[in-house]
Amino acid sequence: MKPIDLSQMRLPGAPTVSPDGTIAVVAVTRLEFAADSYTSQLWLVRTDGSAAPVQLTHGWHDSAPRISPDGRWLAFLRATKAAGSRAGGAKAEHDGAPQLCVLPLGGGEPRRLTDLPLGAGTPAWAPDSSRLAFSARVPQDGRYGTGKTEDGETIGPDGEPPRRITRYFYRVDGLGFLLDRPAHLYVTDLDGTLTRLTDGERSHGDPEWSPDGQTLAFVSERHDTWGDDFASDVCVMPAGGGEVRALTDTTYSMGLCRWAPDGRSVLFTANLAGEGRVDPIMRNESLWSVPIEGGPARQLLDPEAYTLAAPGGDVAGTERGVLFTNEHRGAVQLLRVPYDGGTPEILIDGERQVAGFAAAGDTIVATIAGPADWGEVYAGDVKLTDFSAGVTALPQVEVTGAAPDGYPVHGWVVKPAGDGPHPVLLMIHGGPFAQYGWRLFDEAQVYAGAGYAVVYGNPRGSSGYGEAHGRAVRGNVGEVSAVDLLALLDAALADGDLDAGRVGVLGGSHGGFMTTWLAAMHGDRFKAAISERAVNAIDSFQGSSDIGWLFADSLYGADGGSFEQQSPLTYADKIDIPMLIIHSEHDWRCPVEQAQRLFVALKRRGTPVELLLFPGEGHELSRSGRPSHRVARFDAILEWFGRHV
């Protein structure tokens, strides 16, 4: 695979299925290099495999499909091209913001129901199919294009009044500022009659209808210290508007909420917010149930053994149990969890990842990605699509190392074609509470396609191997992670096809942290390094990152950990191998000063170092940045290792 082969990528999202289980609809996203952007359309799939998938919509970016409970309508979000992409360069009102549309499944044109300044969120159908609920961000007057000059011209971001910040959690990478555009709940009829249900400073997450259609459940922050901690609650309110009532006790960091089919309880995913409500990280996101009439929440899964897949995990209440996507040793399983707790039934397993699902009766339709495809839609064991036709992938081979204390370290090697010995790249994931896994991975395939054997895995600190596996690095991140990563590398190097004398190391975010750490502490093992969007100096990260105010103490400061001792920047004077630092100008998760400080430190001591800085990008450049920037990044990485490894 070459960098430009990203143009072949077709990524199906989570499906929606008709109430009779006969059809499914899925959004398929691809990179559009001509527009230097992403485009997405909806496809209709027959679940019995009797016909080939049919493209259903032809908008620029159609997503979040939802079939109505009566099977007559398809709701979805449609975003138009950015300004200037239309004939004559004319800008439409709220151009580019996703708006809610409905399409008659029996035939006809889609009809837009909303025209909101910042767009609409994922829709949810009322049980009688007459209304849709959703959450949408509402800008303060005068912000985000709502302000006008005396001449009627739109006031741009630089002309807006200053922001007065009073809470820690006031911005987030990839979205921007939060407090001046809270998310509120809306309900719309199919004729576009729109009713806003909530107001105020607090945000309200994606709503879900009760089975009788009388109540909405959602996630919100109702406590006084909202924005200064990481707690939230499952809440309910009448579907026509009224009092908001919290069902939980503000001890959780919430994920999703869904109704149980009997309407007597709400299911939700969450991890504990921890001490002071600011210690939620490195914990499994478990499954819970809380009664609608009040009472304590009950945990339905063992918090040590199971965690909701991230990103894109989902749950759904069915008559036979709760469907739950679970991370497990690089795979993502689909489980069915009993309502009274206990051992779940594994419905989908194996060396693959469930990327989304939908259920209707006994029919389960799932999007599943594997090591040789970007993802396909399945009904049971029957593959219904062939979106990855023509894709050729090098094999992903499992390898397990043993740390000096005997602890197993699980990972993979992707080797190039032909005989070795091949130069090697050790690749480290971010998080650190995340997992590499059993799926086609563009990074590994591109580097292997260029002639490198790529070693990657899930050392302690990763998710998917039990909560204790993840929390083992708290307070001593660099040292504990390094032991496991080197053990995995050594296990891979035992293969005679890999050249132990030509090894490079790279990673992003936490992976960049560990790249800098390994370059300093174990530089003799590597010929060159690439540290990307990294945490390098925890002291400044604590105040400059969107999540640093809680993440720094919860991870690095746990159990008496020292910011200085755990900061890779502290050991920059030990780095002698060539290092390329890659960062994005608009990264708010690991702000650009993290890269700048490391660059200056290495430059001052004469270490071969370069800084590659991407304009207009945030923390997610490698996964969702401009297609041209993703290719430029790959080209720079291959050039650097070609020069030094």
- The confidence band for 1, taking pLDDT boundaries of 50, 70 and 90, is confident
Q: CA-to-CA distance for 224 and 221, rounded, in angstroms?
A: 9
Say if CB 566 and CB 476 are below 8 A apart.
yes
Q: What is the pLDDT of residue 83?
A: 59
Would you state the pLDDT for residue 87?
Answer: 35
| Predicted pLDDT at 39 | 96
| Residues 6+ away with beta carbon under 8 Å from 465 | 329, 410, 435, 458
- Which residues, at least 6 apart from 153, have a Cβ–Cβ distance to it below 8 Å? none
Average pLDDT score over residue span 300-312: 95
H or E element that contains 631: helix 627-644
Distance CA 269, CA 277 (A): 16
pLDDT digits (tens, 9 = 90+) for 310-369: 999 999 999 999 999 999 999 999 999 999 998 999 999 999 999 999 999 999 999 999
CA nearest neighbour of 457 among 486, 477, 479, 480: 486
Higher pLDDT, 363 or 93: 363
pLDDT score of 232 more than 70 = yes
CATH 3.40.50.1820 residue window(s) in the chain:
396-644
Q: Which residues contact 72 (CB under 8 A, 6 or more apart)?
A: 104, 105, 106, 129
What's residue 609's pLDDT?
A: 98
Query: Helix 510-521 vs helix 477-493: angle between axes, to the nearest 10 degrees?
Result: 80
Tell which residue, 406, 629, 401, has the closest CA to residue 532.
629
Q: Please report which confidence band the pLDDT of residue 107 belongs to, taking 50, 70 and 90 as the band edges.
A: confident
Cα 398 to its chain centre, rounded Å, is: 24
CB–CB of 589/618 below 8 Å?
yes
Which part of the chain is CATH 2.120.10.30? 10-84+96-383
Pick the CATH number of 396-644 from 3.40.50.1820, 3.40.50.150, 3.40.50.720, 3.40.1390.10: 3.40.50.1820
pLDDT for 559: 87
Q: Could you give the percent of the chain with pLDDT greater than 90?
A: 92
Tens-digit pLDDT profile for residues 377-430: 999 999 999 999 989 999 999 999 999 999 999 999 999 999 989 999 999 999
Q: In the chain, what is the greatest distance between 2 CA atoms, to the nearest angstrom?
A: 73
Residue type, 90: A
Given a cut of 90, whether residue 89 has pLDDT beyond it is no
Of 601, 594, 593, 595, nearest to 575 by C-alpha is 601
CA 10 to chain centre: 17
Long-range contacts formed by 630-636: CB under 8 A, 24+ apart: 630/3, 630/6, 630/31, 631/3, 631/4, 631/6, 633/582, 634/3, 634/446, 635/3, 636/580, 636/582, 636/612
**Enclosing H/E stretch for 511:** helix 510-521
CA dihedral 506→507→512→517, nearest 10 degrees, is -50
The percent of residues in the chain predicted with pLDDT above 70, rounded, is 98
Within 8 A by CB and 6+ apart from 515, the residues are: 428, 505, 506, 507, 529, 530, 531, 532, 534
Residues 393/445, Cβ–Cβ less than 8 Å: yes
Q: How far apart are CA 223 and CA 256, in angstroms?
A: 19
Read off the pLDDT of residues 476-535 as tens digits, 9 standing for 90 and up.
999 999 999 999 999 999 988 999 999 999 999 999 999 999 999 999 999 999 999 999
The mean pLDDT value for 127-131 works out to 98
Distance CA 563, CA 137 (A): 36
Evaluate if pTM is beyond 0.85: yes
Top CATH class, 10-84+96-383: mainly beta
Residues with Cβ within 8 Å of 88's Cβ and at least 6 positions away in sequence, in order, are none
pLDDT digits (tens, 9 = 90+) for 165-213: 999 999 999 999 999 999 999 999 999 999 999 999 999 999 999 999 9
Residue 150: its pLDDT value, please? 85
Burial class (CB in 10 A: 0-12, 13-18, 19+), 111: middle
> Who has greater pLDDT, 88 or 631?
631
The whole-chain average pLDDT of the chain stands at 95
pLDDT band per the 50, 70, 90 thresholds, residue 100: very high
Say how far apart CA 32 and CA 360 lie, in whole Å: 34
- What is the reported pLDDT for 86? 35
